[in-house]
Amino acid sequence: MGKKMDVVKKFWAKVERRSDNECWPWKGSFDKDGYGQIWDGNIGKMLRSHRLSAQIHHGEITGIVCHSCDNPSCCNPAHLFYGTSADNVADKIAKERQARGEKQGHSKLTEEQVAEIRKRADESYKTLTDEFNICPSTVYRIWNGDAWKHSHSRAR
Ligand SMILES: [Zn+2]
């Protein structure tokens, strides 16, 4: 029990806790995949910090822990969810991004606009971010077919 507390305490000391919507960057060390890592002396194992965060906030881990924000170093529990299969995960990420895209003022895009951004992949980020009032990462995701995919595969 006492030891477990220590890991949690160590965890919080290395997380930059921000507002609920923002990513909470890991300030400790990282593994080769860019995930934060933390040593749990309790079980003698290196843990991934986002998994520990999920465990602290959401309870026992039942599957893979994924980031809806696509930021491996992020430890914000609001950005973490449990997935059971690769398919399930891809679907959920797409869904959450879409929900966020629709809710947040700065990236309110209709499907037509997304289609247009996709068509204009030879233009600069700046042109498109200015015109649609969105952030470069949104443009990037649209160009790479990663965003709003869900709306096109709903029939599945
Ligand atoms: Zn995040």
pTM for the predicted model, two decimal places: 0.55
List all residues 6 or more positions away from 50 whose beta carbon is below 8 Å from its beta carbon. 26, 35, 36, 65, 67, 72, 73, 74, 75, 80
pLDDT digits (tens), the chain, 156 positions: 455 568 999 999 999 999 989 999 999 999 998 999 999 888 899 999 999 999 999 888 777 888 888 889 999 999 998 776 666 666 666 777 766 655 544 446 788 888 888 888 888 877 888 788 777 777 777 887 665 554 443 333
The CA 54 to ligand 1 mean position distance, Å, reads 12
Contact 23, 69 (CB under 8 A): yes
The CA 69 to ligand 1 mean position distance, Å, reads 5
The CA 27 to ligand 1 mean position distance, Å, reads 14
The CA 94 to ligand 1 mean position distance, Å, reads 15
Rounded Cα distance between 121 and 143, Å, is: 6
